[in-house]
A and B are shown apart, each in its own frame.
Chain A
């Protein structure tokens, strides 16, 4: 079975898009032979970062890509928005910290659900969160 290494782009503007992004990632992971636990962990992480887009930036995009390294397949998720950005990233990565009305588990929780996590952001410069989940 071959999997096209093309990017899947999911515009994120409303809450239906959050569901769509995680379902498309799940479909991609199923094609790659991810186990059901990993599929759920990835889908949950995507739900968190996608909701951050609708909650804080109004709109943005999630790009899903199949990546390969050392004979393993993975899914890379890039969640990008041009919203207000995050002033204090260290704080935003702490459990329980929120400037919205959530639980403050979104970013730190998403980080625990995936294998690789990177965030680039600055005030008024948008936010890009990159997640990677590798197949076992």
Chain B
């Protein structure tokens, strides 16, 4: 299932709606990279609230999105990691230290605003 990506001003919001297969995750990577170029976006929020797990593949792919978009001049924030998923990621041994995270969409957008220096 494709992940809808919405444009909101200088930012993109990728809102995951359900559990994703590995193929879906790779497609999300491609789609985000294409949209960043198309809309000249400065930041991306990826909302993972609906994800059932963040296993090693999903975690690595989201980290990949963060690193790749940074190379294109856009910052990525992952939002909506539930307490259960956070616990599993730590047990699994996932290193997510170099990725911006925030509690929810609102906090994620605020973080992007602050990082990029866009103000109203």
Contacts and interface: CB of A to CB of B under 8 A. Distances in A.
Interface of A: 15-16, 18-19, 22-23, 26, 36-37, 39-41, 43-44, 47-48, 51, 95, 102-103, 105-106, 108-109, 112-113
Contact of B56 (A15, A22, A102): A102
Given A16-B21, A22-B53, A36-B84, A41 B91 contact: yes
A102 B60 contact: yes
Interface residues of B, number: 22
Q: Tell me if A's interface is mostly helix, strand, loop or mixed.
A: helix
A109 B53 CA distance: 13
Interface in B30-52: 52
A44 B96 CA distance: 16
Q: Tell me if B's interface is mostly helix, strand, loop or mixed.
A: helix
Contact of B93 (A15, A16, A47, A105): A105
B56 A105 contact: yes
A112 B53 contact: no
A40 B52 CA distance: 7
B116 interface: no
A77 to B, nearest CB: 14
B52 to A, nearest CB: 6
A40 B53 contact: yes
Contact of A47 (B53, B60, B84): B53
